[in-house]
Each structure stands twice: as C-alpha cells, then as structure tokens.
Structure 1
Amino acid sequence: MSPNRLIAHFDLDAFFVSVECLSNPSLKGLPLVVGGATDRSVVAACSYEARKYGIQSAMPMRTALRLCPHVTIVPGTRGEYSKYSRIVTEIIAAEAPLFEKASIDEFYIDLSGMERFFKPLEWTLALRQKIIDQTQLPISFGLAANKMIAKIATDAAKPNGWLYIEAGKETDFLDPMKVNKIPGVGDHTYRDLMQIGIETIRELRLSNPDLLTRHLGKYGTDLWNKAHGIHAGQVTPYQEAKSVSTENTFDQDINDSSYLLTELVRMTERVAYELRQDNKMAGCVAVKIRYPDFETTSRQTTIPYTFYDDELIPQAKLLFQQLYRKGKPVRLLGVRLSELTDEARQTNLFQDVNRKADLYKAIDSVKNKFGKGSISKAGGQQGKK
C-alpha cells in the first residue's frame, strides 16, 4: 500500500431521519422510523434512539413495532432526500479534486498526493463543517490510506464525528473489532468464521490463509488481506450518468394535441421501462418539440428520483402543456430522462412501494416476454396508428 494514498469517506448520519427532523424539529430525540405503516412495509431508516431497541433498516415494520410499540413512524419525503443529496454532492464537487458518490448519502474523496497543496485532515474537517453549515445535517467521516479503512473509520466515528487512521496503524485500529465490521461480511460469513474460532479481526489476521481458503474459497484470501488493512479499491470519478431518450419524427406533421399526448405517454413508458431494465432512476425529465419550420423548443424539470411510469408521465405531460403552441403542427416529439442514478433506490422502502414494485415487475415481465409494446397504459393506446 502506498504511504501517499489518502482516502476520505463521508456518510450522512441516519440521512432520511435527519432530513425528517429538519422538516419537523419536534421529532428530534424520539425513537423514529421512516417508512410505511402497513403490514407489508419495511423500515427505510431509523434514528439512533430507535436502534437502541434493536430496530434496523430493512426490518419489517411489524417487527419494529413489536420491539418498540411507542416508536414514531413518518412516511418519508423522497423529494427532500433527493434535494439534500444534490446539495451535498454539489458542495463536494466544488471542493474535491476527485470524488465518488457511492450512494445517496455516501461519498469517497481521493486526496492522494494533495498534501503538497494543503493539510488533508484540516481540509477534510473544513469540508465537513461546510456541509453541516449549509445543510444542518450531521455527517461523519473517516480518513485513511484506503477506501475500506476509511469506511470502517466512518462507522466507528458515528454519530456526527470523524476519525483519522494514520498509515501504518491500520491493524491497531482493526484488531479489536468483530469480523463483521469488515464491509461485505454478512451474518452467514460471520457464523462460518466463528465456527472455526475466528470472531475478531485480529484472530482473522493471525489465522492460516490456507484454512480460510478451505472454508471460504478465494473470499478467504480476500478477507485475510482485509484483516491486514489491505484494500486496493479505487475511487471511481463521479459523473452524471448518460440520459435515456426517445424521439419520434412523424411521417406527417401532427396538430392533434390529444394524439400528441397519447404519443408522449407511450414514449415516456418506453424510456421508463429502459430505466428499470438498467436498474437506474431519473432525477430529471425533459420534453422536446420541433415544429415544421424546424424551430425546436425544450423544457426540463428536476424530480424526486424514480423509474415509475405513473410518476414520470404527469411530469412529461406538464412540460408538454407548458411548451406546446396550441394548434401548431408538430414535426418531432421527444422525451429524455437524465440525472440517472442507482443510489436513490435506497429511497424505495416507503409505504406501498413494495406493492408498486411488484406491479411494475409483473408489467416488465410481460414486456420482456412478448415485447415492449405488448402492454401499455390506456393513455398510451388510444389514437395509436
């Protein structure tokens, strides 16, 4: 491991809960969960006070209520989460030489070699304070020689703290911890390791690599390296994902607004389907209209991250109504979804989301089997020619 390598890991603490508390300060200090209140709902996020009762993210809501009957449940406001994530991303993008957005509330920053220009710890502390000042959200960071140690340090620093692990001191930091503190070590692997007498990272580090390979295959060697603080993962530069779009240049100019809206619905359904196939969500919708004289106009709007037709179509229709010159023939109509991301899938743990996800999974299954046009909304069928 290069001694010059230096990675900061930032994580917004209990992000969804923190945003809800900004909107309603009376929620602070309560055992609080974000999610739906139905039997099918799960916990999207929980406060540190709720965690004391054993409540965890992705836990069935009925289990959370059994553990803490007086827990406060709020339904969640996806638009606000998207907004604050964007604000933090913009702050980091303006300051950081190289950063990766790992999720809606988690970032890695590569500061390797930057000690020639500034003191990395002081710079990271200043960035953290800037985020807190501009958002009022708690955020923790870990600073270390690689991504793995930085992430573990962040977890150890929570809530709302920071930790710097100097190069060469990785094993001192890791040794006392349980092996499930290593990212990627789930319950199953943890149980397997305990069965061969390994519970702490120190015990893992001092174990025989051949023993680990026999029990865990190649993953055993990987874990042995991680127990020594070795991790070669690179910070992947953040960039806005490419958009998905579709356009239709009509054989004849169209001045029937109802037909144009029908076509708009069909096109939006199509690009939304493509998003779901790629496991991406969109944070921006745009509509383009071109008239017979080739005058082209477009308008876009930012939205809470989604890949659902019923959330994208109304936005596309609204943009069309704002753009369209009534009675004027249209040569081309287009829809584009941009600001694509997969990190916001974390926000998909709210009320009725499971039911909606199941519905769209069924719809997409039919489309995959019989073709994209095999099923569509009524608004996308009438007037089709």
Structure 2
Amino acid sequence: MVEKSTSTLRRIIHIDMDAFYASVEQLDNPSLRGLPVVVAWKGSRSVVCAASYEARSFGVRSAMPALRAERLCPDAVFVPPNFTRYKEVSAHVRDIFHRYTEIIEPLSLDEAYLDVTSPQGEASATQIGERIRADIFSELGLTASAGISYNKYLAKIASDWRKPNGLFVIPPSRALEFLAELPVGRLPGVGRINEEKLARVGVESVEDLRQLEADLLQKHFGKWGLRLFDLARGIDNSPVKPERLTSQISSEDTFPHDLAIKDLGPQIRRIASTAWAAYEREASMSNNFLARTVTLKLKTSDFRIVTRSRTYSSPITSVEDLISTAGALLNRIDLPEEQLYRLVGVGLSGISRDSPVQDGLFLD
C-alpha cells in the first residue's frame, strides 16, 4: 500500500499516441504502411522527429541524427515532417479528451495527462481510457496507448508498458510490488549520469533504492534525493496542470570522455539540432511561438558551469541560425585553452507568442 493516502485520491490517465508523426504519414499515404518510415529531413544536420515501429526494430529512435538512422536502416523511407498536419490531428485528439475531462495537461502533440478523478457517470478510469482509445481509432484510424494510476509518473510508466495500442493499470494496492523490480532508470529524472551515480552506491533497481534512508539519499543527491525517496515508494502528488506554458527548450549531453574546446564544434551542431527539433515540435502547437535568446552551457571537467547567451530583437528562424549563434557563443568562452569539458547544452528561451519583429539587431 502506498504510504501517503492523499495520492490514492486521484485517477490519472496518460495517453500516448503510438509513433504519432510516422503513423499520421502512414495513415495519409497507405503505400507507407508496413514500411520503415522515418520522419526527418535528410542531411548531416537533421535529426529524427519520429520513426515507425518497423524502423524502430532496426534501432532507429527519435532525436537520433538522421545519418545514423540511414546507417541503421538503409531501406528506411524518409518523409519530411508536416507539423501543420500533425497539429490538426492532435487538435482532434484533444477534442476527444475534452469529452471526458477538462483537466488536461498536454506534454506534446502526441501525449497528455488527464485527471478523471471527478465522477464520469459510473465509468471507471479504465473504462474512460478504453473509450478514449476507441474514439481515437474510430475517428482518426490511429492507435494510442494508455496508462492509468493514482499519480502522473506511474501513469506515464504504465502507458509504455503495453505499447503499442495497449492499456495498463497500476492500482495503489499493486504499486510497490510493481515498482520493486523496475530498473531505477525508469524513474523520472534518472538519466544515464544519475543512473551511474546510483550504481556507485549499490542501487540498480527501485527495490535497491527503497532500502536507502532519506538522509543518505539527501547527502548524495541533495533535494533530488528526497524526491527519489518518495518515487521509490510510489509517492508523487504533482497535479495535472491544464495550462502548461513552455518558458525554455534545451538539449544537453555529457560526453564519454572530456573534450577540448577545439573539439566541441560537432557536438554543438548535434545538440543544437536536437534542441531545434524539440523547439519545432513545441512551436507547432502554438501560434507565433517565438524564441529570441540562445544560451550555450558548458560544464568543465572539474564540474564548473559556464554559460553564454545572446538575445535578438527578432526570433530565431532556423536550425542554421541556432547552430551559428551557439558557435559564436563558444568563441566568447575565455577559459584557458587546455581546459577540458564534459558537457555541452544549447537552449532557446525568451519565449513569446507575439508577432515577430522584423529587424535583426542584437539586444545585448
């Protein structure tokens, strides 16, 4: 049984469309059905926006460089993304959600949290999840997976459990048992680096994590350690937030080996391309979604954080602009030439939803 009874009061559904962009392309062009479809522009700077399950069987994944996807799956059919069309289909899916609840937190065009705690007649959360999936399939010809639980992070884990085209429920009575055998990397916020840190203190599964006291986790991981303590016990009282305004979009990566500043150019291009793909996905959901600030983040080999930013009076309009600005910011790093770096990040911020300004002068 979950330790905080307040968590059990909610009924949360996480809906995740299956290979959404690729599935829409296959829906609109039946000749693509059954083929390994990769939604991406071809080219050295392009990244994969989505891949059909046929392409995923070759190891192709979202945010992967398009050149690597080509190497993994030489027979892949590359289709340029059509965000106008994806936004149109996503709006229809959202309309379906609104038939069942007004408490909806979109995460992207293809996934959202729904709070169905308030009674929907006699329907259970499971029945609502099945009805939503049935409506999506009958009206759009697309499949979606649903996860249902008493909090958001468990619902999200559940939606991935029987993908594609599945539904899975994690009730409060089974949560601790379900979590126990999961790799700790399945918990939100536990990326590759934190997974390695946890492994150094003997933690590989959620059950291992549950054996550690809160004080020890806080000592090793600070405030985040206390959140880990709760997550291992199925505790998360984060509400579903109907309004979710994005203030910044970024991508970063920690290198297997520390690099000199002269070697960071290709890494910046790769990471900026990933950030731009995320930015385009977000922009496709909002009219006049505009970013005017570019930030370059570096972490040195001795864990110092260095950032440089530049703000324009007009918005960034292309991945080439983003890469160029990030490269210019790199030239403003004034640390010794022998300094090594372990992480690079590129971010877009200064987000507004206004009409773009026409001139291109710097504000800083």
Q: Return the TM-score normalized by structure 1.
A: 0.63
1:229 aligned residue: 234
How do residues 45-64 of structure 1 correspond to structure 2 at under 5 angstroms? 45-64=50-69
- Aligned-CA RMSD value: 3.1
- Structure 1 residue 360: deviation in Å? 8.7
1:88 and 1:237 map into 2 onto residues whose CA distance is 15
* Residues 247-299 of structure 1: CA deviation (Å, up to 9, x unaligned): xxxxxxxxxxxxxxxxxxxxxxxxxxxxxx9x9747687xxxxxxxxxxxxxx
SS in 1 for 2:160: helix
From 80, 83, 89, give the equivalent of 1:78.
83
Residue 354 (structure 1) aligns with: 319
Q: For residues 55-79 of structure 1, what are the alpha-carbon distances to aligned partners after superposition, in whole Å with 9 as ceiling and x for unaligned?
A: 2211111122222222221112111
Aligned partners of 1:144 and 1:150 also within 8 Å: yes
Pick closer, same or farther for the CA change 1:22–1:105 going to 2, 3 Å. Answer: same
Check conservation: 1:280, 1:307, Cα contact below 8 A.
no
Distance in 2 (CA, whole Å) between partners of 1:140 and 1:233 is 22
1:8 aligns with 2:10: no
Q: What residue in structure 1 maps to residue 72 of structure 2?
A: 67
Relative to structure 1, the CA distance from residue 283 to residue 103 in structure 2 (aligned partners, 3 Å threshold; closer, same or farther) is closer
Equivalent pairs, count: 272
- Determine the C-alpha separation between the residues in 2 that align with 1:166 and 1:308: 41
- 1:180 aligns to what SS in structure 2? helix
Q: How far apart in 2 are the matches of 1:172 and 1:239?
A: 32
Query: In structure 1, which of residues 168, 191, 195 is the aligned counterpart of residue 196 of structure 2?
Result: 191
> Residue 143 and residue 282 in structure 1: after superposition, are their counterparts in 2 closer, same or farther (change >3 A)?
closer
Q: Is the Cα–Cα contact under 8 Å of residues 100 and 116 in structure 2 kept in the other structure?
A: no
The residue that corresponds to 1:154 in the other structure is: 159
Shift of 1:27: 2.0
For 1:332, the equivalent position in structure 2 comes to none
1:122 paired with 2:150, answer no
Distance in 1 between the 2:286 and 2:212 partners?
51
- Find 2:209's aligned residue among 191, 200, 204: 204
Other-structure match for 1:219: 224
Q: Is the 8 A contact 1:45 1:57 kept in 2?
A: yes
Compute the displacement of 1:197 (Å): 1.7
* Deviations 1:349-379 (CA, angstroms, capped at 9, x unpaired): xxx95225447989xx9x9xxxx67538xxx
1:100-179 aligned at under 5 Å gives the runs 100-114=105-119, 117-179=122-184
Cα separation, 1, equivalents of 2:232 and 2:31? 43
Q: Equivalents in 2 of 1:50, 1:28: separation in Å?
A: 12
Q: Distance in 2 between matches of 1:375 and 1:21?
A: 40
Amino acid at match of 1:236: K
Aligned equivalent of 2:39: 34
Partner of 2:360: 375
- TM-score (ref. length: structure 2): 0.67
Letter in 1 for 2:161: A
Q: Which amino acid aligns with 2:360?
A: I
Q: In 2 relative to 1, CA 72–220 (structure 1 residues): closer, same or farther, beyond 3 Å?
A: same
- Are 2:52 and 1:20 aligned? no
- Is the alpha carbon distance of 1:360 and 1:93 closer, same or farther for their aligned partners in structure 2, counting shifts above 3 Å? farther
SS at match of 2:14: strand
How many angstroms apart in 1 are the aligned matches of 2:199 and 2:245? 42
Higher helix fraction (1 or 2): 1
Checking the alignment, whether the CA contact within 8 Å between 2:48 and 2:63 is kept in structure 1 is yes
Residue 131 of structure 1 deviates from its aligned partner by 1.4
Whole-Å Cα distance in 2 between the matches of residues 12 and 26 of structure 1? 21
TM-aligned CA deviation for residue 122 of structure 1: 1.4
Using the TM superposition, give the Cα deviation of residue 113 of structure 1 relative to its aligned residue in structure 2, in angstroms: 4.1
CA contact (8 A) 2:100 2:128 kept: no
Q: Deviations over 1:198-240 (max 9, x none)?
A: 1111111222333322221111111121011100110112489
**SS of 1:66 mapped into structure 2:** helix
Whole-Å separation in 2 of the counterparts to 1:283 and 1:74: 20
Distance across 1 between alignment mates of 2:36 and 2:165: 18
Q: What is the rounded CA distance, in whole Å, between the counterparts of 1:283 and 1:51 in structure 2?
A: 25
Q: Which of the two has higher C-alpha Rg?
A: 1
Kindly provide the amino acid, as one letter, of the partner of residue 232 in structure 2. A
Contact 1:175 1:200 in 2 (8 A): yes
- Partners of 1:308 and 1:206 lie apart in 2 by 44
**Maintained 8 Å contact 2:41/2:80:** yes
Give the aligned residue type for 1:64: A
1:208 is matched by which residue type in structure 2? E
Task: Look up the equivalent residue of 1:22 and give its one-letter code.
Answer: L
